[in-house]
Chain A
Amino acid sequence: MRSLLLLWSLAPLAWQLYTSLVTPEALVNGSGVAAGSFWTLENYRQVWLADPPIWRYLLNSAVVGGATTALTLTLAVPCAYGLQRQGGRLRWAVTLALLATAIFPTVLLFLALLQLARALGLANNLLALSLPYAALCLPLAVLLLRAAFAELPAELEDAARLEGLNLPRRLRHVLLPLLAPSLASTAILVFLFSWNEYPIALTWISRPELLTLPPAIARIAGSSLFTVPYGAFAAATVLGSLPLLLIVLIFQRSIVSGLTQGAIKG
């Protein structure tokens, strides 16, 4: 069962990797190609040396992703805390509203967002792109973090209050370190959303050197009139997935580790 699941989720990736590493002839003809012209790094060379090169798009996406994540968490942490600790009767109304916005199909928004970008002069600005991204990620982030706050024992914060820690200090020294696993997993979700987002990026950004990865990769497909450059396409996709893989590997331990273990009786 486990190997079946692995096959299910890894096979497309493996296929992508394979496609990126073979010549177009090998892709079409398979075993009928001479051994010398089967494997190649030409596809990578092509996307790396293109104008603008792929690393430029990676950088753009990283900037947007970083800004989106920072903005989302900065707003979501106080919001989640307030909702959890002070919500009162309003809490459920706000939580329901958040849930409704979290599941709203974002595609329906992008025309309105385009109007906004025009009216406010936010087009072709990478940091501005993080505004709609953060707005779309906030509901889910708040819901996730609120649940995380709810799981922290209230007595921990009481103890910190008695020791004279005000709210910012309680957050910094006690609550946020304990929330690190939840913060990391929320951050990854937000970053992932921003990394993969296509329609808004497509409409808000038109200058080639400012494109983020998804529209840029789509451009590779449309760059040639008569052939579909499968190899270059796959190479760009592989390069685009590597940073994500790296991030998840780095944060994997803090996501999984149960830091709050032992806070209450053992």
Chain B
Amino acid sequence: MIEAMPVITTNPAAGLRIEGLSRHIGGRSLLSDLNLQVAPGECLALLGPSGCGKTTTLRLLAGLDAASAGRILLDGDDISRLSAGDRRVAMVFQSYALYPHLSVADNLALGLRIRGMGAREREERIAAVLELLQLSELRLRRPAQLSGGQRQRVALARALLRQPRLVLLDEPMSNLDAQLREELRPELRRLLCGGEQPVVYVTHDQQEAMGMADRIAVLRDGHLQQVGSARELYERPANRFVAAFLGRPAINLLPPEAGRQLGLRPEHLQPVASGGIPARLQRREWWGNQQLLWLESARGDLRLLVAADLELPEDLQLGWRPDHELWFDSHSGERLAGP
């Protein structure tokens, strides 16, 4: 006899669900018809150039701005009509937005006090969060007396303290130096992701998005371009914009021919003995672990990423594997299935 398999029930309503979210000001559209889902514990990055609508989306989710159309559902509840204070949404701002006149402990306490939490419970919660973020020593300092990284951790503590149903982060690391950013990424992931609440992370830094997020949503001019894992976006970009936005050094886009355009990632080009595109070496950037070569060819300028110790002649021929080709419609920019 075969026993019935246990049925795994995943509540389809759980998490964050964005339906047709739009915002227009005057005649200008900042965000058009955004549809997204973020599962509990999942970290979704909103990625795009400045002005693409990612911060607009975040402010709509937080309730700081009003949507022109659309719904926001959190665990099945429509929160679109609730005020910012009633949504139980926490947000970490780019500037951290710590209250400069209050100590670290008072910064954390203000919101809880307003909600009428007793002094004892407040103290316990704050102590726990400070401990978690290794800030206990700094509890009496003012924000001005903290380093950038410490301020960022206090802002994070304030967000976690309220046990929010949704965590929003607006470029939380863009004011930190590159090394600190790299160190903080795993810590942020450990603290925020994998819990019960969905996390939406806004950034313009693709490396940060790829390192932090489970999935990435790429936005451009208020329109969603593609959602997927970093790998999906990199290997199967929906269009030319996504292909060019993700990946550094940027993808080589060959001149369009007959309504189609070929894209080749710099690391997919290789020197071949014969039968490739003839090219001439122009410039070389040596990065230690790799080197970037700038070449001139009959098919335009090309960038080539190769091993640091590879010695190449001035004139060479370039080839690639057919399965690395990315073809785009040269008018719409949409990716085509093949050549």
Contact = CB atoms under 8 A, between A and B. Distances in A.
B95 A174 contact: no
Nearest to B92: A159
A166 B85 CA distance: 8
Contacts of B59: 158
Given A153-B95, A262-B143, A265-B148, A163 B101 contact: no
A164 interface: yes
A263 to B, nearest CB: 4
B95 A266 contact: no
A180 to B, nearest CB: 8
A178 B85 contact: no
A163 B148 contact: no
Interface stretch (B110-118, B182-190, B274-282): B110-118
Interface string A187-225: 000000000000000000000000000000000000000
B99 interface: yes
Of listed A155, A156, A164, A165, residue having the most chain B CB within 10 A: A164
Given A162-B84, A265-B148, A155 B95 contact: yes
Interface in A115-152: none
Interface string A47-88: 000000000000000000000000000000000000000000
A163 B110 contact: yes
A261 B84 CA distance: 27
B144 A266 contact: yes
Interface in B55-78: 59, 62-64
Given A161-B84, A166-B85, A263 B110 contact: no
A264 interface: yes
Contacts of B144: 261-262, 266
A164 B95 CA distance: 20
B50 interface: no
A159 B93 contact: yes
Contacts of A177: 101
A166 B114 CA distance: 10
Interface in B107-163: 110-111, 114-115, 142-145, 147-148, 151, 158, 162
Contacts of B83: 161
B74 to A, nearest CB: 14
Contacts of A91: none
Interface residues of B, number: 35
Of listed B87, B91, B100, residue having the most chain A CB within 10 A: B100
A37 interface: no
B175 A159 contact: no
Contacts of B62: 158, 162
B336 interface: no
A163 B97 contact: no
A164 B85 contact: yes
A11 to B, nearest CB: 40
B93 A155 contact: yes
Contacts of A261: 100, 144
B86 interface: yes
A158 B114 contact: no
Given A165-B85, A262-B143, A266-B148, A158 B162 contact: no
B64 A165 contact: no
A10 interface: no
Given A158-B64, A264-B95, A178 B115 contact: no
A165 B91 CA distance: 15
A40 B90 CA distance: 70
A178 B96 CA distance: 16
A158 B158 CA distance: 14
B233 interface: no
A160 B101 CA distance: 14
Contact of A178 (B90, B101, B158, B175): B101
A153 B93 CA distance: 11
B238 interface: no
18 contacts: A155-B97, A158-B97, A159-B97, A159-B158, A160-B110, A161-B84, A162-B84, A162-B85, A162-B91, A163-B85, A164-B114, A165-B85, A259-B100, A261-B100, A262-B143, A263-B99, A265-B148, A266-B147
Interface of B: 59, 62-64, 83-87, 89-91, 93-101, 110-111, 114-115, 142-145, 147-148, 151, 158, 162, 175
Given A162-B63, A164-B85, A164-B115, 17 more contacts: A158-B84, A158-B91, A158-B97, A159-B97, A161-B63, A162-B62, A162-B87, A163-B110, A163-B111, A174-B99, A178-B100, A259-B100, A261-B100, A262-B145, A264-B95, A266-B147, A266-B151
